Chain A
């Protein structure tokens, strides 16, 4: 075991892991973090805490993570390289680890252009792969980026993201290999709606033997409406929503669409459970956290293992 991370233990036990996420509030409202985390606490192994998601200022991910930790739960600290240089990132990692956070996700982050501070300067001192390298170097070599030794280095279980659907498709597996080489222990993927394409991707992943080197959690997002499905298809960069999914959502009445969206999510999990290399699920129920327990239960992923 590389770390104290509960997620690492669950994955090591061979069970399918389940993670979900909490987006911190845009204000000093710690209750909001607690409220969101409480909704999912019994149904997941760890909770991603997003970092200035969509490039909008929010409560810092490590502070919200600490709140969640204090509830006795297991936060996954998300960190985007957009907002901090390597000094700030390393110090936040030490800080978060000192507060009991032992799992993190390394991301580059959406461009500032998409948020409410388009006039800000994006930092990108490191990219996501270099951040993975940096966190591993801290943990395994006990060294800072500058080369100095760390007294009592932070031991983080290291996650990274993968988007099996972004262009060019042929690069996707190579890029995953790069993240693994950099030191990623687990991967959470972009929301999967195009299951055929994802299965093809996983075949390629397994052909290279990458499934043996990393734990891949498949991203699942329940859709609330046909409108949301269309929006994701047309407006979100790098998202692949096939037409038959949209048709299926449109095929039922407006009132039944949320239920249909959840059904699709559950069916997807059932199908993906059988895919070689899938070691768990990352459920991103955007502003719909209350539905996570239902999805986890109906997909046969409840109760969560005790490790």
Chain B
């Protein structure tokens, strides 16, 4: 999923300070799972912004809505009935959600309330870790299911570098060396031989080097 973290309140407050009526929009997908922008967080942020404005001696009108999926025009359409009563939109979805709103409601300013971080997985309750960089040409099939692009600090395709020690990456003792993990996994799978095959230089076009990426499924698009 896509992970995110709430922005500092100070930054959010600065964005919305010129406005009296705010439409605060959460999303029921990834940001709900990583507890950054779901219904709960929308409520909390609304409450905090209220406390702030009351202290300032003013009131703001915050309308809370959490959409099923903010990166989907179909759901973003649901804001139509609310949009006229808002001066600005504050989105707690990932950057994709914020942009879907911006594209649909061109006349209203929209501000992000979270920092979108990375594509990751849940490691344990409350901890998320980066797992994929969407390189567009997945290598997991030949790297034992461990991604060198996202998890090696130097994105090496032929690692490990000389800096590993005790299975940890040179950048920090609490970061696993992706290539040590890959090697252990290849061993466990009896695929040691694969290690000696040189991985050729990566084509970065599918990774975004070829400009903004797009998927067109003609069987689905009408």
Contact = CB atoms under 8 A, between A and B. Distances in A.
B152 to A, nearest CB: 9
Contacts of A134: 201
A82 interface: yes
Given A178-B158, A237-B170, A167 B164 contact: yes
A197 interface: no
Interface string B187-199: 0000000011011
How many residues of A sit at the interface, in one of the four size bands? 20 to 34
A110 B158 contact: no
Given A133-B198, A145-B201, A127 B183 contact: no
Nearest to B187: A170
Given A134-B201, A168-B167, 14 more contacts: A108-B161, A110-B163, A110-B170, A125-B201, A127-B158, A130-B200, A161-B162, A166-B162, A167-B166, A167-B167, A171-B195, A175-B160, A238-B164, A238-B165
Interface in B196-219: 196, 198-202, 204
A117 interface: no
Interface in B118-163: 153-163
Contact of B201 (A110, A111, A130, A171): A130
B180 interface: yes
A11 interface: no
B163 A174 contact: no
A163 interface: yes
A237 to B, nearest CB: 4
B159 A167 contact: no
Interface of A: 82, 86, 108, 110-111, 113-114, 122, 124-130, 133-134, 145, 161-163, 166-168, 171, 174-175, 177-178, 181-182, 190, 237-238
Contacts of A113: 153, 171
Nearest to A182: B198
Contacts of B166: 167
Nearest to B177: A167
Contact of A108 (B156, B196, B202, B204): B156
16 contacts: A82-B154, A111-B153, A113-B153, A122-B154, A124-B154, A127-B159, A133-B198, A161-B162, A166-B162, A166-B163, A167-B177, A168-B164, A171-B195, A175-B160, A177-B196, A238-B165
Contacts of A82: 154
B160 A126 contact: no
B198 A86 contact: no
Contacts of A130: 157-158, 198-201
Given A168-B180, A177-B196, A238 B162 contact: yes
Nearest to A129: B158
A161 B160 CA distance: 13
B171 A111 contact: yes
A235 B164 CA distance: 12
A181 B198 contact: yes
Given A124-B154, A168-B180, A171-B195, A133 B201 contact: yes
A167 B195 contact: no
A127 B159 CA distance: 8
B151 to A, nearest CB: 13
A238 B156 contact: no
B201 A238 contact: no
Nearest to A162: B162
Q: A-B pairs with the 8 shortest C-beta distances?
A: A163-B162, A129-B158, A237-B163, A237-B170, A127-B156, A130-B201, A238-B162, A124-B154
Nearest to A161: B162
A126 B196 contact: no
Contacts of A162: 162
Contact of A237 (B159, B165, B196, B202): B165
Interface string B4-16: 0000000000000
A130 B200 CA distance: 7
